Structure formats: structure tokens, C-alpha cells
Amino acid sequence: MSYTTNSALLNLLVLLSPWSFASFVAEASSAAAANGVKSPFKIIFDGGSTGSRLHIFEFLEADANGAQGSDRSNDDATTRLPASDTERDVQCVRRGSTRANIPLSAFGRLPADQNNNNPLNSSKVAAHLLPLFDFAADIIPSQYHETTGVYYQATAGMRLLAESEQEAVYDAVYEGLMAEESFVFRGMQRKDIATLSGEMEAYYGALAANFLKGIIDTELHLVYAQNNGRETNELPHHPIGALDMGGSSTQIVYIANQDDEDDETERDPSNTCPIKQQPKLNDSENKNVCKLSDEHFFSTSYLSYGVDQIRKRLWDTLVLEYVASDDAYMVPNPCANKGFEVEHKGHTLLGTGNTDECIRQMKRLIPHPDVLHDWDSDYSGWAVGGVEHPPIRGKFLAMSLYFFSLDSLRVFSEPDEEAHYALDEAWPTPSIDELQNALDGLCSRNWQGDMELQEGTHSFTRKEVLPHRCLETVYMVTLLKDGFGFHPSSRDITFTFLVDGDEVEWTLGLALAMNANEKSSTPPTTVTTTTTAYDYSIDDTNEDVKDDGCNETGNDVFEEEQQYHMQGMPNSQYFAVAMPPTHCC
């Protein structure tokens, strides 16, 4: 097989560069201020491949006594630490989230309609978003409606459309909303609807992770440095990286090597900032600012490396190669439980539960270099999709499907008692070896009479994805070990869905970045990024995502999620509303 960098998709992924982002923030902020009372709220849409999620964030400023000022009268349900305790002048609160289960990419036209210039029906395109805006209007006080910024950022699903078709869909959304009399957020501008690059999505995810861990504040300053080097409540002071896995793409972002040797020889002993800063970064008191920015991170996004696309690529490969050699109707599928059958392109894929063969197939699909060394720490040739990246450095939070799928491995690997116990005891910071040892306990199980009966036993596994957990977990463990190069015995990854009751999502990171940029005239520098696309024909039909925060039995899973909170974390409530998830796995 041939793996290439698709330049057309690469162009799509850089639509929102850091420089254009700074300009976008400044113009939006100025327009809002000119039209009325400045709003402390931000509405951010995550336009994903399975639907659109709306998030409402509010930034609360503290007075001299540490109390938060707000025009909202009903704040009893929200708990926040006073600024004097957190040393944060501004706090970020999620006021609500909701979603529509129709992906925006579904409104993209067929090639024939595009060629005939058949216009999109703007009212039809925008209609599914109107209930979400009604939800926001009920939460945000009316005096802020016209000045509240609304930002629709689309991700992997829209990236798969041609750029011209993306713009046509965005035009239709904007026109449809503005034509609706009930739409109250009139400060929204057409340029606020765009495709978010995979690299920036990863960067914002890292900001969210660092904020929820108490490492940075709402202006991206490192709290450790703000406290003059005191590690309050054992909070880590070095920024952490993030791993994100979706259906269509996956991202990795982490602090790049900053030449520690030079730091040791040149650093001022009084400087408590653990990351390099540009000399021009100074605060209003002309003190050195220890502030996180995109320049500190290495960020990579891999389009078509999400679990849905990997599954389709595997199935296509199995059918193509087996038919060529045997011309049989029944095709063995090593990455499914024994006896599970699924139709694909006129053939039946029959699960064999062969974990070793599944790992071999995943190594072909990543692909990665043949590693013949004994995990030499100086080895720097790690690559995914043929693209090299710097050696892995520091601690990571792994979110989204990394958590949902690998947490299911913790539950479903029970038949292998030893591996299951080791993984369960180590969770949520297992080693790569502990994850890999548990794979066969899941994959080797029979489908009939066993796995098919496990529906509802894992809170984050819906009926529709249960048959694919073997493939997903093998893929992720192989990607982490053989692709990214995490050491088999390391415990540098914490798999998490919630931090202190709150979901780790890139939308929070975007809200924080916008807040920081609004308070600073210094634009972010260009992030060091690489985007890899698999040159492949993609059918972007993804499974629906449940919207009610419940599993298939209808039970609210929020209480069950509390066990996954980061152990040893202070009860910070920096990001203060603990909400049930509005989507699942």
C-alpha cells in the first residue's frame, strides 16, 4: 500500500492558522464592544463528524475581596474558589452544553449538484441549529445576546469536503440563521464559521487539559510560576501533552524539546518559569510573563486515522487481499470477536479473535518504522503515517475515544484474570505493557453467548460499538507503542474523560485562548505542525452518537463516571460546573 501526504487535505487543515486566529479574535471582540455591553459569555460550536455540540462559557472577574462579579442571579449550583485562593483573577465556567445529532457535513452537495450550481437551501441547513441557539438564549441574559461571540468551528467531518463545498455550507448556515427572526445572537459574523485545523484542535485540547489540571489560568499563565515556584497541592508545574482520538482523525500535542542543557547553564535561578519565553512577553508591571502558547508545542493531526476510518481501511484491505488469494465469500477478520459477522462490500467478515494477527494488521495500517532496537531512549525515528515527530516528552492526558475504548478493555478483558487485574489496578495510568497484555482477554472472547450479552455492562460502550472494541483497543495500543513510541513500561499517560467533574474538550481550550488573546496585543506565533492524510477514498458515514448522557439501559452514567476522576487532584473546581456528558463513546 502507498501512504502519501495529501496536499489538498493539508490545505484544508490550515484554514485557521494562529495568525488568522489572532485577527479573528481582535475583530470579533471590537465589533462586540462597539455594539453594546461587552459580554462575558462565549458560544463555541464543535462541528464534529457525528453532530454539532454547542458550549456556553462565562468568564467571571473577581473583585478585590476575591468574590466573582456576575450579572447572573442564579449561581447557587456553581461552586468556585475565591481568586485569593487560586491566585486567578478570572475564572471560566461552563454554563451549559447541548447538541444536534446531524453533522454539518451531511449538507454537502453531491458532485452533480455542485457542477450544476444547485444552491443549498439555507433555511434547511440552519434549521437543525436553531434549537441549540434557543437553549443558549435561555441561559445567557438578554442584555448580552447581541454582543456574545458565536464561533462555529468544524473538525474532521467537514475537512473531508472540498474547500469550496465547505464554504458553500458555511454560507448557507450563516444566511439561514440571519434570516430567522428568532435568532438573537446578531453579533455573529460569517467569518466566525470555519474549519478548524487538526493542529489547532490538538493545541486547544492541550490548553483544556492544562487548565483543568490547574497548570495554567484563564490567560494561559503557568500557575506554578505565578506562585513563585511553589507546587501548591502537589500540582505539576510542567505543561502536559494531550492525546485525542475521534472517528475520523487523531491528534497528539506535547511540549517539544527545548534544549534543557542550555536552560540549565543560562537560566536565572530566580526565574521559576519551566518553559522558554520570548523576551518581548511582558506584563503590565514589566515583569517576565510565564505564559503558555502554541510555540511551545509540537502538534500533529492525522486525518483518516480515527477509529472509524481505520476500521474501514482494515475491512477493505482484508476483502481485497483475501479475495485475491482465495476468492471466497467468507473473509477472516482477526480484529473481531470469534464468530462475529458483518457484511462488507458483498462479503462476510467473520471474526476470529486473533490478537497477534490483528496487531500485525494494525502495524501495516499505521504504518511505523521497523523497530529493531531495545527501546533506545536516544532513538528519534518514531513516525506515524511516514511522518517523523520529536521523541515523546512529559506527561499526557488521553481523552475522548482513548478513554472510552481503553476503559472498556479494563472491563471486557476479565477472562484473562491476571492481565485484567493488573490493568484494573493500574487504571487510569497503566503502562503500555499492561494495556497490551489485556488485549487477548477481550479479543479472544466469543461473540455469540458471550460478548453479545455484555451490552450495558460498560457505561461508555453503546450497543453499536460493542463489536468494534477489539479492533479499537488493538489499534490504539499499537499506535501508542509502535507509532508514537511510548515506552512499554512507562506510565506517562492518564486516560481520562473527566477532571474534577468536567470533560476535557478542545472547545474549552479555544475559549481560553480567545480570552487570553483579547487581553493581549501579542499574536501567537506559528505552531510547529504536521498534518498527515491517508490517500484513500472515504465513505464518511459514521454511527450516531447518543445524546442523553445515558447508556443503552437508560441509566444516568454521571455517578459512575465519578470513579474516573483524577486521583490525588485537589478539589479545585476551577472549571466549576460538573455536568453529565452530552455524548458518549
Paired with 301 in beta bridges are 251, 531
User: Which residue bears the cell 473546581?
Assistant: 573
Co-location of 308 and 437 in the same domain: yes
Query: Measured between alpha carbons, how far is 497 from 526 in angstroms, rounded to an integer?
Result: 29
| Domain-embedded: residue 368 | yes
Co-location of 473 and 336 in the same domain: yes
Average pLDDT over residues 13-31: 45
Q: Is the pLDDT higher at 237 or at 173?
A: 173
User: Which residue bears the cell 511582558?
Assistant: 282
Average pLDDT over residues 131-159: 95
Q: Which three cell numbers stand for residue 374?
A: 531495545
| Domain-embedded: residue 431 | yes
- 428: cis peptide before it, omega within 30°? yes
pLDDT digits (tens, 9 = 90+) for 372-428: 444 444 555 667 877 778 888 899 999 889 999 999 999 999 999 999 999 999 999
Residue type, 370: D
Co-location of 192 and 308 in the same domain: no
- Whichever domain contains 173, its CATH number is 3.30.420.40
| Reported confidence tier of residue 237, pLDDT bands at 50, 70, 90 | low
For the chain, percent of residues with pLDDT exceeding 90: 47
**Was 157 annotated as part of a binding site?**
no
Task: Tell me which residues are annotated as active site.
Answer: 201
Query: Measured between alpha carbons, how far is 230 from 396 in angstroms, rounded to an integer?
Result: 22
pLDDT reported for residue 174:
98
- Whichever domain contains 352, its CATH number is 3.30.420.150
| Domain-embedded: residue 559 | no
| Domain-embedded: residue 576 | no
Hey, CA dihedral for 479, 483, 484, 488, is it positive or negative?
positive
Worst-scoring range by mean pLDDT, 145-154, 247-256, 558-567?
Answer: 558-567
Angle at 258 between CA 255 and CA 260, to 5 degrees: 120
pLDDT digits (tens, 9 = 90+) for 68-110: 555 453 443 343 333 333 445 788 999 999 999 999 999 998 8
Per-residue pLDDT at 273 exceeds 80: no
Per-residue pLDDT at 444 exceeds 90: yes
Co-location of 317 and 457 in the same domain: yes
Co-location of 189 and 311 in the same domain: no
How many structural domains is the chain composed of? 2
Last residue of a domain, one of 128, 163, 196: 196
Average pLDDT over residues 475-485: 94
Last residue of a domain, one of 439, 470, 503: 503
Query: Measured between alpha carbons, how far is 320 from 179 in angstroms, rounded to an integer?
Result: 49
Per-residue pLDDT at 458 exceeds 70: yes
Confirm if 446 and 339 have CB atoms less than 8 A apart. Answer: yes
- In whole angstroms, what separates CA 23 from the centre of its chain? 24
| Domain-embedded: residue 286 | no
**Was 114 annotated as part of a binding site?**
no
Co-location of 314 and 456 in the same domain: yes
DSSP class of 583: -
pLDDT reported for residue 13:
38
| Domain-embedded: residue 291 | no
**Was 189 annotated as part of a binding site?**
no
DSSP result, 174-212: HHHHHT-TT---TT--GGGEEEPPHHHHHHHHHHHHHHH
**Was 562 annotated as part of a binding site?**
no
| Domain-embedded: residue 5 | no
CA distances from 18 to 199, 242, 513, 527 (A): 10, 19, 10, 7
Co-location of 349 and 498 in the same domain: yes
Co-location of 345 and 477 in the same domain: yes
Q: Which three cell numbers stand for residue 429?
A: 495510568
| Domain-embedded: residue 539 | no
Residues with Cβ < 8 Å from 103, sequence gap 6 or more?
47, 48, 49, 50, 51, 52, 157, 542
CA distances from 484 to 185, 202, 406, 568 (A): 43, 15, 17, 28
Nearest CA among 399, 401, 577 for reference residue 504: 399
Per-residue pLDDT at 276 exceeds 70: no
- To the nearest whole number, what is the mean pLDDT of the chain? 76
CA distances from 350 to 335, 344, 442 (A): 10, 11, 16
CA distances from 534 to 17, 306, 321, 539 (A): 22, 11, 19, 13
How many residues are present in the chain?
A: 585
**Was 284 annotated as part of a binding site?**
no
pLDDT reported for residue 533:
39
For residue 358, the enclosing domain spans 303-503
User: Which residue bears the cell 449550583?
Assistant: 77
Q: Is the pLDDT higher at 263 or at 148?
A: 148
Per-residue 3-state assignment (H helix, E strand, C coil) for 172-183: HHHHHHHCCCCC
- E strands along 268-413, which residues? 297-303, 330-333, 341-344, 347-351, 383-384, 387-388, 396-400
Q: Is the pLDDT higher at 443 or at 38?
A: 443
Last residue of a domain, one of 466, 485, 503: 503
Co-location of 346 and 467 in the same domain: yes
Query: Measured between alpha carbons, how far is 491 from 94 in angstroms, rounded to an integer?
Result: 31
